[in-house]
Amino acid sequence: MTNNNKKGNQYYVLLSTSIVLFFAGLYFLLFLHANNITQILKEKVKHVIEFNDVYNKQDLASVRELLENRAEIIPESITFIEKSEATDIMEIEMDTSLFSVDSNPFRDVVIFNLFHQQSDAITAIEKELQGKKGIRNIYSQSVLYDQLKSNLFKVGWVVLGLAILFGLLALVIIFSTLNLKLYADRFEIKTMELVGAEDDFIRKPYIREATKLGVISGIISSLLIAFIFLIIKYGDSFFGSILQWHWLVITIIIVLSVGILFLRLSSRRLINKYLSKQLYDLYN
């Protein structure tokens, strides 16, 4: 096998393995962040306590005291918004002609958020608040967590499907490439075996080359994954708060490990096939 053919085959192995590891890495990254996404969204849900048109400061103080004493509520999220402030906000966001000069359609409200692990406590909090004076209504933003999580996993399965598809193509390329190389070296392998070389010694250069290709493939795919991670994290404030560095590091470790194991095991299996052949079989 000429040096040009050898380099060309190595490039094919690198390219195919890098593509497989890239899609597999994206799947792992999405899978690892799935729970984190729903948890952060749960903490972003605003629960709103709406007051009557007429209420006194004592009613407001009583509500705030109740909220501040509940361990399920994020303390710094408790915020009082007067109806005049709400009008100012809506005038910025919407057409001011929708609002009458003489009337204000809003009411004073207190908003708060729950810790994600305590999101189910809202029912008990609402029951306790309903007994307080001055409160007109209590409601929450509607977020379909299960549907969101289901959609995320659907995207993940698509990415995983692509990884499997490219993985099968990569296996064909890798096995063909390694098989051609070993076929060219078959007499050399058998000669070393006949003069008493141990199997591990014969395998060593091939396993070393496979490890090198696995490391390079893993680095290429990891750099692409990290590049996409950085674009999303710093390009969008919402996803920036969701994406976590430690999950990226874990994904890169997985990608590198899979790349090395994938090529090492493939090489080992093919080498064993040639080691088990008889001398007359090498001419076929």
The per-residue pLDDT string of the chain (284 residues; one tens digit each, 9 = 90 and over) reads: 455 555 656 777 788 788 888 888 888 888 887 767 777 777 777 888 888 877 788 888 888 888 888 888 888 888 888 776 655 555 555 555 555 545 656 778 888 888 876 777 888 888 888 878 888 888 876 555 556 666 766 777 787 787 778 777 767 777 777 777 666 666 676 677 667 767 777 778 888 888 888 899 999 999 999 999 999 888 876 677 778 888 899 999 999 998 898 888 888 887 777 666 555 555 55
Question: Element (H or E) spanning 140, and its range?
Answer: strand 135-140
pLDDT on residue 104: 57
pLDDT on residue 114: 86
Question: In angstroms, what CA-CA distances link 249 with 9, 22, 63, 245?
Answer: 30, 14, 44, 6
Paired sense of beta strands 47-51 and 79-81, if any: unpaired
What distance in Å separates the CA atoms of residue 129 and residue 198, rounded to the nearest whole number? 78
State the alpha helices, DSSP H only, in 195-275.
199-235, 237-242, 245-275
Q: What are phi and psi of 144, to 5 degrees?
A: -90, 85
